[in-house]
Structure 1
Amino acid sequence: MNTSAAWARLEPKLAYFRNRVAQLEYEPARKNSFVAYTAERDSAYADQDGQRLLMMSGYSYLGLAGDERVVSAAKAAVDRYGTGNHGVRALAGSTPLHEELEAEVAKFAGREQAIVFGSGYAANTGVIGGLVGPGDTVFIDKYDHASIVDGCKLSGASVVRFRHNDVAHLERRLASTPDTGVRLVIVDSVYSMDGDIAPLVELRKVCDAHNALLMVDEAHALGVIGATGRGIEEHFDYEVKVDVKVGTLSKGIPSMGGWVAGPAELIHHLKYASRPFLFSAALGPAQAAAALESLRILQREPWRVEFIQRESERFRGLLHAAGISTVDSETAVVPVIAGSDDAAYDFATLSRKHGVIGLPVVTPAVPNDLARLRIAITARHTEADIDFAADAFIKAARETGII
C-alpha cells in the first residue's frame, strides 16, 4: 500500500470494507461475494470450483440466459454489426437494431415510444435527472432502489422520503410540501429485497390529487407479474396507468441495458436531456439483439410467466410450513429471513453444503435484524428443483437454529 500522506487519509475508507468483509468471510467456505460461477446452458445449475450446485439467487427470471434462440440472435448481431458501436446514440452510435429494440419495448410496455440505455442504473439516474432539478421535488419510497436514490441526489431536486408502501404517509408528505415546480413520485413495482408489490391504484389517486407525476421502475416486474409478464399495470388489470415506465434488460430479459417508455414528446426530451443516455456509448449489438429476441420469446411463451408465479407461491408455502419467514413477498423475489448478518452467512454456507446456492444480503442493504438469503424463482427451474431447494433451505435453517 502507498504510504504517502495523501493515501493515509484514504486508509480509513479502505479499511472499512476490508474489515467488514473479513468479519463475515473469515474462512474460504464462507465466501459469498464476488464468487465466479459457470452457469449451465440448459438447467438452473452452476459450477463453483468444480462443485455442481443449484442456483437459487440468479436473476434470469424467464430462464432465457442460455436459450439457443437468444444466443443465436446475439451471434448474428455480432456478425452483422461487430462487437461495439461507433459512439453515442446522438452521433454515430445508433443502428437499426437499436430502433427495432426500442419499438419492441414501446409495444410491450403499451407506450408510444421508448429508448434504451447502457444499464438500468443509467436509465434511472438519467430519467430522473432529465425530468427534475433545483426547484422541483421528488417523493421516493424508503425501499426504492439505490439507482433511484442516486438519481435524485444527482438531479439537485428536493428529495422527500415516505414509508414503504404507505400511501397515507405519501399523501401527508405531498400535502405538507409546497405545490411548486415538477412533483415526481417514484416507486419500484416489485421491490428487489422483499418481493412485494407497490399499491399502484392508490398511488395513482394520491398523485392525481396532488399534481404529481408517477414513475415506476419495472426492473423486477417484467416477465414476473401480470398475466403475461407486462408488469404492474397488467397486475392491476390496467385500472390505472403510470406516467413514466422504466426498467432493465438484465433481469427477466437476459441481456444488459435499461429502458424508459412513455409519450413520444417525453422520449424526445430525454434523448437530449438525459446525460447518461446522451454521453454514454450505445448499447452493444449482441446485448441489443439478445434483449430483442427475449422480448419476442416472452410474448410467444406465456407459460414462463405462469410457471414463475405458480412455483414462487408453492416455494413460499413450503418454507412457511416449516416456520421460515419470507416477510411480505408475493412474487418471484423471495427473501428467506435469517436474522443477523452472521446468521445469513451461516445459512448460505450450510445451504451450499446441501447443494444449493442461496446468497446472503446483509446490512446496510437490509435492516440489521432482517439479513436474508435473496432467492429468485425462474422458469429455468423445474418443480423438482423447487422441492430440492426448499428441502435444502429447511435443513440449513434447522442446523443454524433459524427454526
Structure 2
Amino acid sequence: MDSIFARMQRREKDGTKRRLRYDLGLIDLASNDYLGLARSSTLSAFCQKALNRRREDDLHGFGSTGSRLMTGNHPEMERVEEFIAKSQGFESALLFSSGYMANVGALSSLPDEGETILYDAECHASLLDGIRLSKARAYPFRHNDLCHLKKRLSATACRKATYIVTESVFSTDGSTAPLKELDNLAASFGAGMIVDDAHGIGLFYEEGKNSLATLKTVVAATAGCGKALGVMGGVVLTTKRIREFLLNFGKTAIYSTALPLASLYAIEGAFSQLPFLEREREKLFSLIRLFQTGSRNLSMTAIQPVNVRGNEAAVKLQEQFKQSGFLVKALLSPTVRKNRECLRITLHAFNTEEEVKRALELLS
C-alpha cells in the first residue's frame, strides 16, 4: 500500500496527477466528435425510434444481462454486425464494449506462440497492452519507417506468421500511416496487417467504403465507436472465420457483458449516417487546411498537435486557451514521452472558420 501512496505523491509533486474535469460553455477543440454525430438530432431520433420498436416481451431490457456467449447475444446484435461489415466493405464484424477492448481482444489472441508482431513504435496504449498479453514475439519499428520495417521483416522471414500492427491515424500527432506502401511490403513478405482505424473511420472513404477494405493483407481492422461515430463501443472488422475465432479465443469478447440495445442502436445509427455526411467531411477538411496553413502543421487530419516541451508549459498554454473560451487538452508525460508534450487541438465539422482563426491567433 505504501507504494501506491508514494507513486501518487510523485504525480502530485511533478504536476502529472490526472483529475476528472467537466468544462461547460467552452468552444470544443478537444473532443473526438469530429463530424458532430454525438450532438446529432438525427442520430438521437434514430435511436429512440429503434428502441420503441423493441418487443415488450424481449428478454433484454435496459441491460444485456450477460456476455454474448451466455445470455447477452441478441438477433439485433448480429443483424447490426452484418450491417456494419457490409457498410464498411468487410465480410464480418464483431462488436465489443469499447475500442480498447477490441484492440486488446484482437492483439492478445490472434498472434500465436512462435509468431511475430512488428508494431509501429507510436501505437496506442490499447494496442501495446494487447501485444503484451499475446504469446507472440513482438518488436517495434520506427514510426512510419518502411526501411526499418523491411529490415525487421527480413529478420523474421523464416519464422511462422508475422503481423504488422499500426494505426490509420495516430491519436497523438495526427500523422497517418502509409497504408498502401505497408500493404505492398506486407504482401511481399507474406505478412498480415492489423490496423487500428479508430481516428480514421468515417473520415476517409473510397467509393463510400472504408479504405482499409481495399487492402490485400488486412487481417483485421479495429475501431472505437467514440470518435467520428460519436457514440460508444468498439468493433473488429474482419472475416467470418476470424470473427468465429475471436468468439472462441478473444477474452475481452468472451468475458465482457454485451452491449445493451440502446448502445447497439446508437452504433447502428452512427454507421448508417456516415454515407450522408459528405458536407460535414468537406467542412472539416476545409478547417484542417486553414489550420494547417496558419500553424504550418503537417497533419492533414482532425488532430492538430502543438508541440510544447514540458508538462508545465503545456498546462499553461491549455489554461490560456481556456481563459479565451476554448476547450483544448494538453497531452502530458507519461501519457506521451518526456519532451514530447503537446497541446492536442482537434477540429470538428461544427467549428467555424472564425473559431479556428482565433485559435491560431493564440498560437502566434
TM exceeding 0.5: yes
Equivalent residues in 2 for 1:241-256, closer than 5 Å: 242-256=218-232
Q: Which residue of 2 aligns with 1:14?
A: 8
SS at match of 1:243: strand
- 2:63 & 2:174 partners in 1: Cα distance? 35
SS at match of 1:221: coil
Q: Which residue of 1 aligns with 2:39?
A: 66
Compare relative contact order (CA 8 Å, sep 6+) and give the higher one, 1 or 2. 2
Counterpart among 342, 351, 354 of residue 387 in structure 1? 354
Equivalent residues in 2 for 1:357-368, closer than 5 Å: 357-368=327-338
8 A contact 1:59–1:376 mirrored in 2:
yes
- 1:229 & 1:256 partners in 2: Cα distance? 22
8 A contact 1:223–1:230 mirrored in 2:
no
- 1:36 & 1:366 partners in 2: Cα distance? 22
- 2:8 & 2:269 partners in 1: Cα distance? 42
Counterpart among 293, 299, 302 of residue 332 in structure 1? 302
- 1:229 & 1:319 partners in 2: Cα distance? 31
1:240 deviates by 4.9
1:332 deviates by 0.9
1:35 deviates by 0.9
Task: Tell me the C-alpha RMSD between the 2 structures.
Answer: 2.1
Q: Mark the CA change 1:35 to 1:211 in structure 2 (over 3 Å): closer, same or farther.
A: same
Equivalent residues in 2 for 1:312-327, closer than 5 Å: 312-320=288-296, 326=297
Work out whether 1:216 is the aligned partner of 2:195.
Answer: yes
Measured against aligned partners, the alpha-carbon deviations of 1:13-62 in whole angstroms (never above 9, x if no partner) come to: 33233333xx368xxxxxx842113xxxxxxxxx1xxxx21010111111
SS at match of 1:186: strand
Q: Which amino acid aligns with 1:336?
A: V
Measured against aligned partners, the alpha-carbon deviations of 1:231-276 in whole angstroms (never above 9, x if no partner) come to: 4438xxx465622111111111111111111221111111111110
Q: Which amino acid aligns with 1:312?
A: I
Counterpart among 184, 191, 196 of residue 205 in structure 1? 184
Counterpart among 289, 292, 298 of residue 268 in structure 2? 292
Q: Which residue of 1 aligns with 2:246?
A: 270
- 1:189 & 1:215 partners in 2: Cα distance? 10
- 2:304 & 2:207 partners in 1: Cα distance? 20
- 1:248 & 1:228 partners in 2: Cα distance? 22
Counterpart among 132, 142, 146 of residue 121 in structure 2? 142
- 1:63 & 1:100 partners in 2: Cα distance? 25
8 A contact 1:225–1:309 mirrored in 2:
no
8 A contact 2:212–2:221 mirrored in 1:
no
Q: Which amino acid aligns with 1:72?
A: A
Q: Percent identity?
A: 27
- 5+ residue gaps in structure 2? 55-59
TM-score (norm 2): 0.91
8 A contact 1:189–1:220 mirrored in 2:
yes
- 2:217 & 2:19 partners in 1: Cα distance? 38
- 2:322 & 2:3 partners in 1: Cα distance? 39
- 1:33 & 1:319 partners in 2: Cα distance? 30
Work out whether 1:181 is the aligned partner of 2:148.
Answer: no
Equivalent residues in 2 for 1:100-111, closer than 5 Å: 100-111=79-90
Counterpart among 96, 108, 115 of residue 94 in structure 2? 115
Counterpart among 65, 85, 91 of residue 70 in structure 2? 91
- 2:331 & 2:100 partners in 1: Cα distance? 19
Q: Mark the CA change 1:232 to 1:344 in structure 2 (over 3 Å): closer, same or farther.
A: farther
How many residue pairs get matched? 358
Q: Which residue of 2 aligns with 1:36?
A: 22
SS at match of 1:152: helix
TM-score (norm 1): 0.83
Work out whether 1:281 is the aligned partner of 2:257.
Answer: yes
- 1:344 & 1:229 partners in 2: Cα distance? 39
- 1:18 & 1:393 partners in 2: Cα distance? 32
Measured against aligned partners, the alpha-carbon deviations of 1:305-345 in whole angstroms (never above 9, x if no partner) come to: 2222222111221223xxxxx3x312111112223221111
Work out whether 1:56 is the aligned partner of 2:29.
Answer: yes
- 5+ residue gaps in structure 1? 1-6, 26-31, 38-46, 321-325, 399-403
SS at match of 1:244: strand
- 2:312 & 2:209 partners in 1: Cα distance? 38
